[in-house]
Amino acid sequence: MIPLLSVKQFFNDLRRQKLRSLMTMFGIFWGACSIVLLFAFGKGITEAQLKSMRGMGENIAIFWPGITAKDFQGLPKGRRVRPTEEDIVLIKQKARSINRISPEYQRWSINFRYGKQSTIRQISGIWPEFGPMRNVTPRMGSRFINDKDITDRRRVIFIGNLLAEDLFGEVGPVGKEVLLNGTPFMVVGVMKTKKQDSSYSGRDSRKGFIPATTFQTMYSNRHLNCFVAQCKPTSSMEITRKEIYEILGAKYRFDPTDREALSVWDTTRSFAFLKNFFLAFNMFLVGIGVATLITGAIGVTNIMNVVLEERTKEIGIKMALGAHKSFILWQFVFETLLITGVGGALGFAFAWTIVALVPMFNLEEYIGVPSVDMWSGITVTIVLGIVGLGAGVFPARRAANLQPVQALKLF
Amino acid sequence: MIKMKGVTKVYTMGEVTFSALKGIDLDIRTGEYVGIVGPSGSGKSTLMNIIGCLDIPTDGDFHLDGRPVGTLSSNDLADIRNKKIGFVFQAFNLLPYATAFENVEVPLLFAGMKGKQRRARVIEVLLRVGLADKIGNKPTEMSGGEMQRVAIARALANEPEIILADEPTGNLDSKSGAEIVRIFESLREAGKTILIITHDVNIAKGTERIIRLKDGLIESNGDML
């Protein structure tokens, strides 16, 4: 009703009580700043962890040979189930929920040599699907193992970025020849650096990958060390797993419900757990921020009560001049919202500045990349609105319910 | 204009009760200029607060311009204070952070008067009390007499029918007091109903009727000094 006069009165009070006003706003400033920072850093850490988890691949499961634990069709338990490359072809043909699948042969203690440099590392024999499925992405100017490599049983190798550094140093490895236990292989690609905090046989950055067919030719392995399957985004790993158990169960005659027939690491479960964990972690952080903001709001309520005491006579004057209760109520609520609004906006801006400066300190490995997003803005706005109204309504109601004669202190 | 029958006012503070008015019968006609006198604690201010709708009686009938005040809502009472009554207090009661212009503007804003008309009205009433040159001054930049004239201008802003003044010259020197008295006389000539609580003989002499209160009762009604 009288916004200009109310604003004038607000700034007059602000000027008269500089320290008090600043301290009141600081409570809100700090609360808003805390929420935004906790949101931003929580998000940064979560993203970093999930990215790291995705480093090994998304929606994948690794299957190892196992031993049956149930009697089935007259056959005793305790039989070994050892899948072969033909089984992977069979699964690929039959399992509808599968997006990608690749066998994996593994061999350790391979001597890698380039010129005078040599190192002992592991190699895996795989299919081309292995790369995109396991986030093994080639650097610019290089490639992963392809179908032609498989069909022609080529002696080509794709190497991890750290293995490339160990062997080649500053030299570009692509097109160079590297000796694997004395057998020459041409390097066709180097892995793009990735964050990977989990693995089942060492980090991809220190491994070499060769075509599965070449591996079989060289080492005559019939049985796989393991195979990796990726379910379609529209399906789930539980369905994929069931399909694989049914296909292999029919072939090797084991009970499809016999979980021990194959060992499985379903990474989607770990991923879901991690997601839920970080959701709870972020809610906890935001809870701390909200609690800080509420503490600030209690400060605002206290100050507004003091303001009410100071202004009682002014309220009385306005009532004597015809102010309705609603005017007095809204004047107090307006002032509280202004304090929380200004304090909150400054807190948001300060937090945003900190978040913008963080990348300068190269802490990405530890805390990820914190960022202020729309949701933290919406949360802060909603919480500030509730806090502002909550802090303002009680003193405002007290003020509005004063009798004019009491407010004017005329008796 | 103002009719009271058996009006009482009892204040309760904890277990202590105090009867400020003990049964007031009163009839004030439109355009009357009435002085209310009496010793301290006689109930003058309580009577004025009830007439001005700043307080409500504990018991009795009070009709203002034919309306039973006891049955009105707080918003109705606020509208009466805004449009029908103009208050002049001993302590001026101006908003300290606002200029003379803004102080006078407040009741017009509550009345919902629009910008141009409102500004013209503020200037008109400030001219009427001889404060055209103090429009932009805050209370701290004015003398007591000037502050009281701003308060009178504010009381007149919505052209109320009734002016209630509680010791309007109580805080002023004799020269400023005389100026205020002259303003009240001009308001009387303009046909306003004026009730003044006063100890000032000069003001009381100018009134048409004196109501004398003692111990919450009307001791005499209609005496001249």
We report the CATH number of the domain holding residue B92 as 3.40.50.300
CA distance A401 to chain B (A): 10
Long-range contacts of A212-215 (CB under 8 A, 24+ apart): A212/A85, A212/A102, A212/A103, A212/A104, A212/A105, A212/A125, A212/A126, A212/A127, A212/A150, A213/A125, A213/A150, A213/A151, A213/A153, A214/A125, A214/A149, A214/A153, A214/A154, A214/A155, A214/A156, A215/A105, A215/A107, A215/A123, A215/A124, A215/A125
Q: Residue A124: is its pLDDT beyond 60?
A: yes
Q: Residue B192: is its pLDDT beyond 60?
A: yes
Give the rounded percent of residues in chain B with a pLDDT score beyond 70. 99
| Structural domain of B144 | 31-59+74-223
Distance in angstroms (rounded) separating the CA atoms of residues A251 and A226: 17
Q: Residue A1: is its pLDDT beyond 70?
A: no
Distance in angstroms (rounded) separating the CA atoms of residues B86 and B48: 12
Whether residue B88 is contained in a domain is answered as yes
Residue A318: list chain B partners with CB under 8 A: 106, 110
Chain A touched by B12 (CB under 8 Å): no
Tell me which residue of B219, B190, B174 sits closest to B37, measured CA to CA: B219
CA distance A398 to chain B (A): 15
Question: 10 Å Cβ neighbour count for A306?
Answer: 14
Number of A:B CB contacts under 8 A? 80
Buried b (16+ CB within 10 A) or exposed e, A337-360: bbbbbebbbbbbebbbeebeebee
Distances (CA, A) of A319 to A269, A329, B67, B167: 66, 12, 20, 20
The pLDDT tens digits for B105-136 are 999 988 988 889 999 999 999 998 888 899 99
Please name the residue of chain B whose CA is at the shortest distance from the CA of residue A317.
B93
Q: Per the CB < 8 Å rule, is B82 touching A321?
A: yes
Residue A9: list chain B partners with CB under 8 A: 95, 97
* Structural domains of chain B, count: 1
Question: Which of A2, A8, A322 is the closest to B81 by Cβ?
Answer: A322
Whether residue B135 is contained in a domain is answered as yes
Q: What is residue B220's predicted lDDT score, i.e. its pLDDT?
A: 85
Q: Per the CB < 8 Å rule, is A322 touching B52?
A: no
Q: Per the CB < 8 Å rule, is B78 touching A319?
A: yes
- ipTM (interface pTM): 0.92
Q: What is residue A208's predicted lDDT score, i.e. its pLDDT?
A: 97
The pLDDT tens digits for B30-70 are 999 999 999 988 999 999 999 999 998 999 999 998 999 98
Q: Residue A15: is its pLDDT beyond 80?
A: no
Q: Per the CB < 8 Å rule, is B49 touching A410?
A: yes
The length of chain B is: 225
Q: What is residue A411's predicted lDDT score, i.e. its pLDDT?
A: 54
Chain A touched by B102 (CB under 8 Å): yes
Tell me which residue of A152, A149, A133 sits closest to A188, measured CA to CA: A149
Q: Which two tokens stand for residue A133?
A: 């499925």
Whether residue B218 is contained in a domain is answered as yes
Q: Per the CB < 8 Å rule, is B54 touching A327?
A: no
pTM greater than 0.80: no
Compare B200 and A347 and report the one with higher pLDDT. Answer: A347
Distances (CA, A) of B6 to B39, B56, B193: 21, 13, 22
Chain A touched by B188 (CB under 8 Å): no
Which residues is A184 bridged to in the sheet?
Answer: A179
Q: What is residue A39's predicted lDDT score, i.e. its pLDDT?
A: 86
Interface test with B, best of A321, A324, A328 (most B CBs within 10 A): A321
Residue B78: list chain A partners with CB under 8 A: 319, 322-325
Q: Per the CB < 8 Å rule, is A320 touching B45?
A: no
Q: Per the CB < 8 Å rule, is B74 touching A8?
A: no
Q: Per the CB < 8 Å rule, is B81 touching A318?
A: no
Please name the residue of chain A whose CA is at the shortest distance from the CA of residue B160.
A321
Q: What is residue A51's predicted lDDT score, i.e. its pLDDT?
A: 80
Distance in angstroms (rounded) separating the CA atoms of residues B123 and A382: 44
Helix and strand numbers, DSSP H then E, in chain A:
13, 10
Residue pair B142/B104 in contact by the 8 Å Cβ criterion = no
Q: What is the mean pLDDT of chain A?
A: 89
Q: What is the mean pLDDT of chain B?
A: 90
Residue pair A292/A34 in contact by the 8 Å Cβ criterion = yes
| Residue boundaries of the structural domains of chain A | 3-53+272-407, 80-253
* Mean pLDDT for the stretch of residues A307-336: 86
Q: Per the CB < 8 Å rule, is B78 touching A408?
A: no
Residue pair A76/A240 in contact by the 8 Å Cβ criterion = no
Query: For helices B74-83 and A267-320, what crossing angle results, to 10°?
Result: 50
Residue pair A186/A174 in contact by the 8 Å Cβ criterion = no
Q: What is residue A70's predicted lDDT score, i.e. its pLDDT?
A: 95
